[in-house]
């Protein structure tokens, strides 16, 4: 079973990202489970959401304390929240940022991938400068680096479940799939 | 100190959890500037329950009593009774509830409190839907507005019913004082609150509290939208004292309602005929208000 | 004060007056009405200096009390049946903010069908709300218990609301002799409320607050610990009351002729009086039977119940309510308590007296016969009008 | 802020008395207001309309943005008559 934790801010589509990932996994015949940490939904306030993916029915119903993958939709959160708390050393950290990992101020020694999901989202007219909608872009990058779900099932999930701007969202996912950069283990 | 048009002292703090550009936080801020320190505010389940930060912190520098959703009117009767029984002098008791918590689930308790002539101030901050739970329609949502429970389709054109006129309902209870206030006009907001503070008996405020995510506009426009609400006569500013109506902001000619509607995503779907129908409703309500003001 | 012949409702009102309650709020409902009317007389005549908020619903009555208690005032209210059910949301609120509100309840059946007559379904249905719950057998007990409830509820180790249940009409509108304490006696027993952790004007104090999964459970645990401290505190309060008035109502589970009994019936409320007469009659005929009055339902007297289980082989529990499911609520609670007793007695549940039906001596005798004969099913509806019975 | 970790840390009653401004809401914003003092007329409209009380007035009467709390809503920039406030991208 693979456990993924999403970090974002109210209004950025964090919960929808975790749900779309679940839909994509289901499309590939896997068993998904996705749920938000239901806290204070305020535009701008930190939001956490979780997705579990397995080949068989999932037998646990708790929040995810030791994720295999952490996805950060908003780089601003890196300064205020310990996004890598409990992240397995062998895990993956995917961050929406245009900075290289060593400038992110995080001490995670495992695999890191970055993508400028904000730039991509805005380029496709998704959200505003104040509140970019980066969830579909980040999922495109996720498909590339996670090895869990393929881009086709992500695109199909977007087509089925994203209510507005389906084409722009699919294009953003494809764009991010192409532009995500991976960084092997940082040795400092 | 520079010349200020409203009192400098603050009675609430930063660090609260309101959305950026929230009108409801300004409503509380200006209310307390008018009330001053010696107050207890009763707040039911509403945005402010959560805006007011989790345990162990509180945003208000005055007392705050959480109450059940439908019971603000009763809660302030209880606070007033205790203040009198405990002989606490000079304490202002305030109820601060949302629109749903007042016109829908809380209407009975409000009516009871008014009928009992409780010596307290009840403020309804009106963001025109159940915002804390994600913009579901309330009795105070304007006709035609999109909410999560009045979606827009070919057949469903947003809220069907008209906005419940809470001021008319309150006026029927013959309150000691009632007024509408708008965060876009802080000077008048504070002045009316200071006036009400000096009056004994049940007093009521209908405070417009623009809401960026709920109304569908970018946060920096909150004050602009608030201004437009009044200047298009969608939200007229007036007061009722011992039954006498007085309109406190009258423009030569009101701006067309369209200017207010098209600035908000919740009205983005309206066709010209629907806009015209809303204009008619606004004009009729304004005309009636003028007639009420003419009554001596 | 001399002994007066008064109703249970008046006994409630006298207790509130003697307790010098500061805020009363109530909404009329049969059969509780003469409590709130008497209190209105006391306030109107100046005998009681209190703010009396006549509200538009029971829900508002409880909110008035919660907010007033939240500021430190001593508060009282009363209700019945549908009105108590309407308060249900706020009963949790009162215990949640540890408001020591005292409430009189004239037990009345729950509609539909509408019935103004007694049974315990209304207060039993509030057993999960964090309130201390007494069930009184006499008007004397109603008055004494209500007075004691203020001191217990406000006690530093407790700080929980309390309700005093009295059977509709059997007590509420039945007049009988009651020794009404003098104001001096009441003042000696019950000092003014010294409130802490209250909301204060002009001070950053938010009573109620909101909280995430990180600390909610710990606050509920505090209520549980307070409930655990009630038995010892209640004993001390009852001892102090006895010192001043000479009266003691025997704690949470007073026994009657149970120490050498083979069969004991556990009863609540006024059925106890009738059962006591049947015990005497059966004892006279050589039957070794006894009685246990479940006078405090919350917190359940688990220790006393296990003690009873140690010496008695067969125990019946008379439920004057039906709460869905197969067995009565009192029965399931007593059975739960006795599960861990070293010697588990044979238990049997009798459901009787719903909707104001009399629980007559023959019915009680039928229950004892079932217990003594150890026959019959686990649950029996005694006094039920069934064709085979009538034929 | 006293840290509440265990049941023993908690007060008996759920009453909150600590000021909320120990909570910083800076992380909410993606844009921040920058005041060009040379253009500022000290009218204090920005202070008046700030929902987060995140603008103070210093001794000379100039507005100062409290960056610990500003959520970047942009009302101040929008309402500033002399257009002395620019919203600048965060970070």
Look up the domain containing C166 and give its range: 3-245
D82 occurs within a structural domain: yes
Cα A120 off chain centre by: 14
- pLDDT for residue C391 is more than 60: no
Side-chain-facing half-sphere of D88: CA atoms under 13 Å: 11
D18 occurs within a structural domain: no
B55 in contact with chain D, both atoms CB, cutoff 8 A = yes
CATH number where C309 lies: 3.40.50.920
Asked if residue C92 and residue C50 are part of one domain, the reply reads yes
Q: What is the pTM of this model?
A: 0.94
Shortest CA distance from B220: residue in chain A: A130
Place of tokens 């068993």: A31
Identify the helix (H) or strand (E) that includes residue C24: strand C23-26
Identify the helix (H) or strand (E) that includes residue D33: strand D31-35
Asked if residue C168 and residue C32 are part of one domain, the reply reads yes
Give the pairing of strands C3-7 and C175-179: antiparallel
Identify the helix (H) or strand (E) that includes residue A175: helix A166-179
Show which of C219, C245, C271 is a domain's final residue: C245
Question: How high is the pLDDT of residue C342?
Answer: 83
Residues 6+ apart with CB under 8 A from C20: C48, C49, C50, C74, C186, C187, C190, C192
CB-CB neighbors (< 8 A) of D70 in chain A? none
Shortest CA distance from D4: residue in chain C: C215
Taken in order C208, C213, C214, C220, the sign of the CA dihedral is: positive
User: What's the pLDDT tens digit per position in A2-26?
Assistant: 999 999 988 888 999 999 999 999 9
Inspect the interface and report whether the beta carbons of C97 and D14 lie closer than 8 Å.
yes
How many domains in chain C? Answer: 2
The closest CB to that of B79, out of C60, C71, C212, belongs to C71
Asked if residue C287 and residue C193 are part of one domain, the reply reads no
Which domains does chain A show, CATH number per domain? 2-183 (3.40.920.10)
D38 occurs within a structural domain: yes
C250 occurs within a structural domain: no
Neighbours of C152 (CB within 10 A): 25
Report, as ranges of residue numbers, the positions in chain B whose pLDDT lies below 50.
none
What is the ipTM, given to two decimal places? Answer: 0.91
D34 occurs within a structural domain: yes
C211 in contact with chain D, both atoms CB, cutoff 8 A = yes
Nearest to A182 by CA among A150, A148, A151, A142: A142
User: What's the pLDDT tens digit per position in C318-374?
Assistant: 999 999 999 999 999 999 999 988 888 999 999 999 999 999 999 999 999 999 987
User: What's the pLDDT tens digit per position in C147-189?
Assistant: 999 999 999 999 999 999 999 999 999 999 999 999 999 999 9
B84 in contact with chain C, both atoms CB, cutoff 8 A = yes
The closest CB to that of A44, out of B19, B50, B134, belongs to B19
How many domains in chain D? Answer: 1
C149 occurs within a structural domain: yes
C99 occurs within a structural domain: yes
The mean per-residue pLDDT over the stretch C42-60 comes to 97
Question: How high is the pLDDT of residue D1?
Answer: 65
Cα C202 off chain centre by: 38
Give the pairing of strands C132-135 and C296-298: antiparallel
The mean per-residue pLDDT over the stretch D9-33 comes to 92
What are the CA-CA distances from residue C136 to residues C12, C124, C268, C305, C332 (Å)? 11, 14, 8, 18, 21
Place of tokens 């009404």: C180
Shortest CA distance from D68: residue in chain A: A80
Residues 6+ apart with CB under 8 A from C305: C253, C292, C334, C337, C338, C341
Inspect the interface and report whether the beta carbons of D75 and B8 lie closer than 8 Å.
no
D3 occurs within a structural domain: no
Look up the domain containing D53 and give its range: 23-89
Question: Does the domain spanning B23-294 belong to CATH 3.40.50.970?
Answer: yes
CATH number where D52 lies: 3.30.70.20
> Residue C106 and residue C224: Cα distance in Å, rounded?
27
Give residue limits of the domains in chain B.
23-294
User: What's the pLDDT tens digit per position in B221-230?
Assistant: 999 999 999 9
How far does the CA of residue B148 sit from the closest CA of chain A (Å)? 14
Q: How is chain B classified by DSSP, letter by letter? A: ----SS----SB-S---PPTT-HHHHHHHHHHHHH-SSEEEEE-SSHHHHHT--TTEESBSSEEEE--TT-HHHHHHHHHHHHHHTT-TTPEEEEEEESIIIIITTHHHHHHHHHTT-SSEEEEEE-SSBTTTTSB--TTSPTT--BTTB-BSSS-BS--SPPP-HHHHHHTT--SEEEEEETT-HHHHHHHHHHHHTS-S-EEEEEE---HHHHTS-GGGHHHHHHHHHHTTSS--EEEETTEEEES---SSPPPHHHHHTTSGGGTT--HHHHHHHHHHHHHHHHHHHHHHH--
- pLDDT for residue C293 is more than 60: yes
């Amino acid at each position: 079973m693979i456990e993924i934790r999403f970090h974002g801010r109210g209004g950025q589509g964090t919960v929808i990202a975790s749900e779309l990932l679940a839909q994509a996994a289901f499309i590939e015949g896997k068993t998904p489970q996705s749920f938000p940490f239901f806290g204070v939904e305020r535009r701008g306030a930190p939001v956490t959401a979780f997705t579990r993916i397995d080949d068989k029915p999932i037998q646990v119903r708790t929040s995810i304390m030791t994720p295999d993958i952490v996805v950060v939709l908003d780089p601003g959160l890196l300064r205020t929240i310990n996004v890598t708390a409990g992240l397995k050393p062998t895990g993956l950290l995917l961050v929406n940022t245009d900075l290289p990992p060593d400038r992110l101020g995080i001490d995670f020694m495992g695999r890191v991938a970055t993508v400028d999901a904000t730039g991509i989202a805005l380029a496709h007219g998704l959200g505003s400068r104040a509140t970019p909608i980066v969830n579909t872009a980040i999922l495109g990058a996720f498909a590339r680096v996670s090895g869990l779900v393929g881009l086709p099932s992500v695109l199909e999930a977007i087509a089925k479940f994203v209510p507005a701007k389906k084409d722009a969202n699919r294009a953003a996912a494809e764009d991010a799939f192409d532009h995500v950069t991976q960084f092997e283990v940082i040795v400092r | 100190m520079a010349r200020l048009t409203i009192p400098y002292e603050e009675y609430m703090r930063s660090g609260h959890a309101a959305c950026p550009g929230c009108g409801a936080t300004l409503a509380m801020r200006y209310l307390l500037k008018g009330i001053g320190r010696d107050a207890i505010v009763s707040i039911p389940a509403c945005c402010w329950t959560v805006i007011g930060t989790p345990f162990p912190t509180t945003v208000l520098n005055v007392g705050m009593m959480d109450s059940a959703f439908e019971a603000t009117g009763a809660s302030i009767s209880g606070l007033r009774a205790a203040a009198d029984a405990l002989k606490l002098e000079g304490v202002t008791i305030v109820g601060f509830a949302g629109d749903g918590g007042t016109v829908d689930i809380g209407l009975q308790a409000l009516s009871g409190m008014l009928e009992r002539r409780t010596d307290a101030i009840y403020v309804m901050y009106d963001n025109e839907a159940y915002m804390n739970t994600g913009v579901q329609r309330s009795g105070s949502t304007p006709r035609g507005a999109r909410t999560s429970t009045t979606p827009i389709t070919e057949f469903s054109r947003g809220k069907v019913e008209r906005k419940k006129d809470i001021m008319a309902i309150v006026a029927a209870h013959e309150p000691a004082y009632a007024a509408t206030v708008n965060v876009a006009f802080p000077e008048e907001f504070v002045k009316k609150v200071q006036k009400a503070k000096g009056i004994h008996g049940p007093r009521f405020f209908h405070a417009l509290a623009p809401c960026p995510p709920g109304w569908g506009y970018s946060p920096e426009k909150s004050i602009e939208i608030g201004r437009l609400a009044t200047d298009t006569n969608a939200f007229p500013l007036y007061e009722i004292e011992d039954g006498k109506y007085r309109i406190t902001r009258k423009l030569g000619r009101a701006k067309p309602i369209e200017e207010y509607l098209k600035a908000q995503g919740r009205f983005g779907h309206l066709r010209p005929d629907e806009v015209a129908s809303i204009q008619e409703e606004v004009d009729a309500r304004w005309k009636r208000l003028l007639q009420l003001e003419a009554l001596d | 004060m001399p002994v007066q012949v008064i109703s249970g409702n008046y006994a409630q009102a006298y207790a509130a007056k003697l307790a010098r309650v500061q805020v009363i709020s109530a909404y009329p409902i049969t059969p509780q009405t003469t409590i709130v009317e008497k209190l209105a007389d006391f306030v109107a005549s100046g005998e009681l200096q209190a703010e009396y908020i006549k509200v538009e619903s029971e829900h508002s009555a409880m909110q008035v009390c919660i907010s007033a208690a939240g500021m430190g005032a001593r508060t009282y209210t009363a209700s019945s049946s549908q009105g108590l059910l309407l308060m249900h949301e706020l009963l949790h609120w009162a215990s949640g903010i540890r408001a020591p509100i005292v409430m009189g309840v004239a037990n009345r059946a729950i509609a539909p069908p509408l019935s103004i007559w007694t049974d315990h379904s209304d207060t039993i249905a509030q057993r999960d709300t964090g309130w201390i719950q007494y069930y009184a057998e006499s008007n004397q007990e109603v008055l004494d218990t209500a007075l004691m409830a203020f001191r217990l509820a406000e006690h530093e180790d407790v700080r929980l609301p309390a309700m005093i249940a009295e059977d509709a009409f059997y007590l509420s509108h039945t007049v009988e002799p009651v020794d009404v304490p003098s104001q001096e006696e009441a003042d000696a027993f019950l000092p003014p409320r010294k409130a802490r952790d209250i909301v204060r004007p002009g001070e950053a104090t938010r009573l109620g607050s909101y909280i995430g999964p990180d600390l909610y459970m710990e606050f509920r645990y505090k209520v549980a610990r307070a409930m655990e401290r009630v038995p010892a505190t209640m004993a001390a309060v009852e001892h102090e009351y006895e010192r001043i008035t000479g009266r003691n109502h025997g704690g949470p589970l007073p026994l009657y002729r149970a120490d050498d009994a083979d069969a004991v019936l556990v009863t609540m409320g006024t059925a106890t009086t009738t059962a006591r007469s049947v015990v005497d009659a059966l004892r006279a005929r050589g039957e070794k039977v006894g009685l246990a009055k479940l006078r405090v339902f919350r917190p359940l007297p688990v220790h006393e119940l296990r003690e009873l289980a140690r010496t008695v082989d067969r125990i019946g529990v008379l439920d004057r309510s039906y709460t869905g499911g197969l067995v009565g609520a009192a029965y399931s609670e007593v059975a739960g308590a006795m599960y861990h007793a070293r010697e588990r007695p044979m238990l049997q549940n009798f459901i009787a007296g719903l909707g104001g039906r009399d629980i007559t001596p023959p019915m009680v005798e039928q229950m004892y016969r079932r217990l003594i004969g150890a026959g019959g099913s686990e649950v029996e509806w005694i006094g039920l009008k069934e064709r085979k019975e009538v034929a | 802020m006293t840290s509440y970790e265990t049941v023993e840390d908690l007060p008996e009653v759920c009453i909150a008395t600590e000021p909320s401004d120990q909570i910083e809401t800076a992380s909410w914003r993606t844009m921040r207001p920058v005041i060009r003092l040379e253009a500022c007329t000290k009218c204090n409209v920005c202070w008046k309309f700030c929902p987060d009380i995140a603008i103070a007035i210093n001794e000379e009467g100039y507005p100062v943005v409290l960056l610990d709390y500003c959520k970047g809503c942009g009302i101040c920039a929008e309402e500033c008559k002399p257009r002395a406030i620019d919203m600048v991208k965060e970070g």
